[in-house]
Structure 1
Amino acid sequence: MLSVEQVFCAACRDPMYKNWLLNRPYPTPGSVEWQCLPSLTGADLKRAAMAGSGDSIRGETFYFSSGSTGHPKLVRIGSDDLRRVNTLCARFSRMEGVGSASRVMVLLPMGLWATGKITVEGHLEAGAQVFPVDLHGGVDAWQRLADEIRPTVISSTPSVLQAWAPHYRGPKLELVETTGEPLLNEARHTIEARFGGFVHDAYGLSECVVGVECAVRSGFHYWPDAVHVEILEPKSDRPVAPGADGEIVLTSFMQEAMPIIRYRSSDRGRILQKPCPCGEDIPRVLFEGRLAETFFMPRGVQVMPDDIREELQGLGSCCRISHESGRETGNTAAVLEIVLFEATPDQAAEARDKLLSGFPDIAELCHENELRLSIFSRELL
């Protein structure tokens, strides 16, 4: 993993931190000097992507975030960064009990989103046999591949596993890994009942991978050499009292191409103070939900209505946005409905084009018939 010195040296080369006063000696995480640093927001990442990167890093690759902090953003990851993230994911796997006898079917997007790639590589580093499977083809294709692969572990998002659960025909799994979106208790119980495996959930963002559940499943264990977690007041950069809840703020010691320092996750949570009954002495963070209204879509895609409104600003006087999952509608596809008031049909068509170009994950879901996007205009009478 990177040292504090290496992270700050990378930040000094990155235009995203040009207004930060970064001088040696660099502050230690958790120190008074550290707490005087500003925080980084999703808007900062979005502006940085539009302005261009800093110095090029060897093997640099661009991915889109899943939109977990609103509008999807470009995330720059170097080859050495990926190696470090893969090492963290291997730690996740070993904590869950994945090893050389495991046959892992990774059912995640393998293109825009980096999570599929790092999940594959992390399991390989843990010594498992790994079978990457993209989401194309739907439930029938997944089941045919499972019949051939005979996995002992499946790694995917809760929404994908819930869609597959009513049709799953085996084999019975040893464990199931979920990631990419919040895992509700109802979904956990459904997945365990249908797939037969114990569910371990992982927490993180495309911008910063964080931690994983142990067998106790009370918060997410995280490794301080890989990520520094702090809890700040949502409206300021002040830390909350120990054990209190607030906004989860992350610093990555894995990423040099796009350094992540004090990044506001838009997630609400707290750091658990008591030792975990599992016996591991590494800390835990408890995820308690989102700070802002968020639509959770298939494939782990998350979109904030306020970001849609910002994208469509100027097309009509206001808009009403609603979302239903496929389970709520009784269909295989989720529904995103937008009504533009005081708008013309031409403006509704323009809004659709802007939304699909501005939110590539939504465009991909529509292309794969996993999301039905409906935009209506209501003209002023």
Structure 2
Amino acid sequence: MSTVSVPDTGAELILGYRPGESSLFASPRGTMLAEGAYFAVPPSGRPDGQADLARRVRAALGVADAAGHPVRTVVGAVPFAAGADACLIVPRRLHRGGAPAAAAYRVLPSGIRALRPVPEPERYREAVARAVRQIRAGAYTKTVLARSLRVEAPGFDPAPSVRALAARDPGGYTFAVDLGAGRTLFGASPELLVSRHGRTVTANPLAGSAARSADPAEDHLRAAALLASVKDRHEHAMVADQVAAVLDRYCTSLTVPPTPSVTGTATMWHLSTLITGELADDAVTALELATALHPTPAVCGTPTGAARAAIAELEAFDRGFYTGMVGWVDADGDGEWAVTIRCATADPDGLDLFAGAGVVADSDPSAELAETTAKLRTLLAALGLEESDVA
């Protein structure tokens, strides 16, 4: 993969991010800053456009190669809906640096006028209760219901929040993608959908969550309770088993821990399974693996078709890029794709924050509402707001 420069650390790339002019992706493996768009991956025009996404990305990289363009990488985001258009480009310039480092970074609210939940909390609880009834009736096994928070903030600049996210959770996947028309997708996902480096494949499904506590003793108890939770272990197994089953089709060997572990961000504990494998065919790219996995039961549910239908029926908004995937793939097939959670979409008038919770047969509507509120803390903190600001 060709780049313009290789800074010593990712800090200067994160500081160099400019909304509308560049896109950023930072992971534990390193930081990538993409400037400008040399060539955009064209839309499919098909209702199942993601089915031929890898082919269109190969074609875009072929165009860049034929023209002698030095950057042989596609970066960007893929939405949740199978037929929605992705936002993927070959950048004009691509810079790579080291992984971000933890740092103190304070963000103060700027121009925020109002916060409005979509739907209202009571409507969200009602939707969860309806999903529980449908699950108990045998319509599906799990679905994931999300809600959003509309923040009115004309002229909002995502860059300070992106820097705060990278500083607060450097072990995650911080991203900022220029969507055009003054819109930016940004966030800090804890979840690696899949990466491919040579023949090594890695996935880290997360499902089953608990809010962290500022009190160390209570925080430890919450992590232990999550690991012991029958409900959360069941929810997690559905996700990890499906991810392993998909990757097994592409790998000669696959290592799947028999039980999950607990991993933490600044705001949440999650049940985690780190899956690694050896790719059978090195012609299979990171993007092909990602589209085969997307959407996992962690963001959609199972069975996928019935869970998608429940989301369409019960959610009050279009997810857009939320619960899609964000990352990069290069001409060699290497790449990283994170699940697009703990994110927001900014526009000229403000931004929309998103959070969701997995719903299974024994879900409690109030508990799922509380989980979404806790998950919103990641973005609220990056905006200089508090959990108490959420209705």
Normalised to the residue count of structure 2, the TM-score between the two structures is 0.25
Q: Is the strand fraction higher in 1 or 2?
A: 2
Normalised to the residue count of structure 1, the TM-score between the two structures is 0.26
